[in-house]
Amino acid sequence: MKLTFFGHSCTLIDFGSTKILFDPFISGNELASNVDIDSIEANYILVSHGHEDHILDVERIAKRTGAKIIAPYETCMWFAQKGLDGHPMNHGGKWNFDFGTVKMTNAIHSSILPDGNYGVNPAGYVIESEHGNFYYAGDTALTMDMKLIGMQHQLDFAILPIGDNFTMGIDDAVICADFIKCKNIVGVHYDTFGYIKINKEEAKSKFEKAGTKLTLLEIGESEVLN
Ligand code: NI
Ligand code: MN
């Protein structure tokens, strides 16, 4: 699985035959101005919640690529009203897609759509496929529910928010990695805004002390994770 980071929480997982994109927020991210949004290929776009910093470019990319949107039910219906193809899910549910299974997990956060519509409870996702398994936490606090993920899934890597203030910070993300039993973490949701600036070296050393690898990619950079 190849992961490409497009800034903030936007990550693309490339299975070779299938490309799945998470939470596209590129055109509104000054730090991602070098990313050519109209060259991103995607077969699926997974949306964690309705905040603008997670959905801003969903419509633009979905219309061009024909990608299917996987999102919490009410958010999916909101996209459907815009004529976009979607697959609605809700917490605890799992579905078999052509690339593998997607299970929607709990996230503790808030969610409202940019036009004021109710964005429903935020979510994360566990993806299991023949290529490997991973967890995309979305925007969330540390929660005991993450222990269920560690009990039920063997993860190759996990994509966790580490920016603090709006989500888990570094210390709680280290505990999350322990809860989900995953030693290979990709950090997201940091540095984009003033409230979430982090010290990257400090973050890496805190994870290292816990025996966990933290990968922080440059925007546009890719890494093969297993
Ligand atoms: Ni949010
Ligand atoms: Mn966010």
Residue 189 CA, ligand 2 centroid: distance in Å: 7
Q: Give how many domains the chain has, as a whole number.
A: 1
Residue 105 CA, ligand 2 centroid: distance in Å: 16
10 within a domain of the structure (yes/no): yes
Closest ligand, as measured to the CA of 109: 1
Residue 22 CA, ligand 1 centroid: distance in Å: 13
For 19-44, how does the pLDDT look when each residue is reduced to its tens digit (9 = 90+)?
999 999 999 999 999 999 999 999 99
Query: What's the distance, Cα to Cα, between the start and end of the chain in Å?
Result: 6
How far is 204 from 185, CA to CA, in rounded Å?
Answer: 10
Query: Quick check: 226 pLDDT over 80?
Result: no
225 within a domain of the structure (yes/no): no
Q: What is the structure's pLDDT at 120? A: 84
Residue 219 CA, ligand 1 centroid: distance in Å: 20
172 within a domain of the structure (yes/no): yes
224 within a domain of the structure (yes/no): no
User: 170, 154 in Cβ contact below 8 A?
Assistant: no
**Dihedral of CA 49/53/56/61: which sign?**
negative
How large is the greatest C-alpha to C-alpha distance in the chain, in angstroms?
48
Domain of 203, in residue numbers: 2-219
Closest ligand, as measured to the CA of 51: 1
| CATH code for the domain of 88 | 3.60.15.10
This model's pTM is above 0.85: yes
For 106-138, how does the pLDDT look when each residue is reduced to its tens digit (9 = 90+)?
999 999 999 999 888 999 999 999 999 999 999
Residue 122 CA, ligand 1 centroid: distance in Å: 8
